[in-house]
Amino acid sequence: MSTRPPRRGGGSDTPKRPGGRPGGRPGGRAGFGADRPKTGPRTSAKDAAERAARNRGDDAGERSPWASSEDLAPARPRPARPAPGASRADRNGETKFKTRAKPGQDVGASRPRAVATPEAPPAGPTRREQRAAASATLASGVQTLTVEGDEAGMRIDRFLTARFPQLPFARVQSIVRKGELRVDGKRAKPNDRLEPGMSVRVPPLKLDQPSERPRNAARDADDADFLRSLILYEDADMMVLNKPFGLAVQGGSGTVRHVDGLLEALTGPDGQKPRLVHRLDKDTAGCLIIAKTRLSASTLAKSFRSRAARKIYWALTAGVPKVRQGRISTYLAKEEPTDADARMRVARHGEEGASHALTYYAMVDQAAQKLSWLSFKPVTGRTHQLRAHAAHIGHPIVGDPKYFSVENWELPGGIQNRLHLLARRIVIPHPRTGRPVDVSAPLPPHMAQSWNLLGFDAGRYDPVIDAPED
């Protein structure tokens, strides 16, 4: 085994590019031939001996243009040349025989030597194949991932979900929360943003076997038809779905059917699957934006982070607020930090795990001083923000199993005990043109029934539109 230190560009410590040899192709700028002189005669005694060997028909001095790092190791000492007609073992342990030369015959010219023609390098793996290989590696040991240019600005948990779709999102959050991920050597937080070139160290993990049934053409066709029936807006870069009540956006414990899984049915010929750029609670209906390309997903996600996306929600709440239009500003933290879907509570400024949450609200209409139609404009996007804020001002949303706690309150007849919260409208800059995309969703069936029963007019002017943007 060679003890020669590895060449620059071909060493074992050099990161491998997906689908390529260490350091690039041979002969390239970062390849194995990068350090060789491009011109000039070879004048060493060793080179002269190699040329003489070639002239004699010996193959010891030949070198393939597609040399590997093993081929470039220091040459072994050559054994003594065997007598004509004798056998010798070559470097692979095989036996070669040479015919005794006849008088006047050049042994090296007795028969033409075959010259290996270098084969074309195999085509590089597709992104899907790269992801599958990365998933296999994740299950076997530690690996280090490099953030690509089209992953700029991604949250660390979204990055891990995109790279390893087999991992449930709740499991991803648990990995990050426990500090098992390192970004450039530092412990990562779930909301950390990544930049191109960053190094993400992933620990050894045992991937769960997929619990879903194998996909088939008929199932994909049904899922695709279902998603197309929900489309409120669509172009080449994005679409807006009218997410129904009760359909989860992402998978979790015991959740088999969800939007993220259904989007597999819309995977294009190029292997690109539409991507989520934000979330809605399972029981919240309305506008859900989907990116069709990786670049669109990155651009739309930045719009949400910069608060360039404006959202309006409608809700049916208990009681009538004394202040018809107002501003709710609190800090929110999870009651159970280890639970991804835990109830949020109002926290103090500076408390560990607390984030600022800001919401504007306006009362659009009310019924018998018992129920109110409230319109919300969230400025921030915290977990359960509107549900927690509605409960905080004493007017929880009807049908909310987590935050509704009004004593001696009875649900009026004809109104279903389901969460009455709708992502009514969203306005966001188009990811390619920058022009605003303005989409509104209709009331889901259970809310439409309540609106009709209470005499609310869904076409009435919404005063929350005039609320500030920050």
Q: Any idea how long the chain is?
A: 470
* Number of Cβ atoms within 10 Å of the Cβ of 187: 12
Spatial neighbors of 27 by CB under 8 A, at least 6 apart, are 33, 34, 65
Tokens of 346: 């109002």
- Residues with a catalytic annotation lie at 281
Cα–Cα dist 451/448, whole Å: 5
CB 316 within 8 A of CB 400: no
Q: Which residues contact 163 (CB under 8 A, 6 or more apart)?
A: 131, 134, 135, 145
- The answer to whether 147 and 194 have CB atoms below 8 angstroms apart is yes
- Residue 99 to residue 97: CA distance in whole angstroms: 7
* Rounded distance between C-alpha atoms, residue 322 and residue 159, angstroms: 44
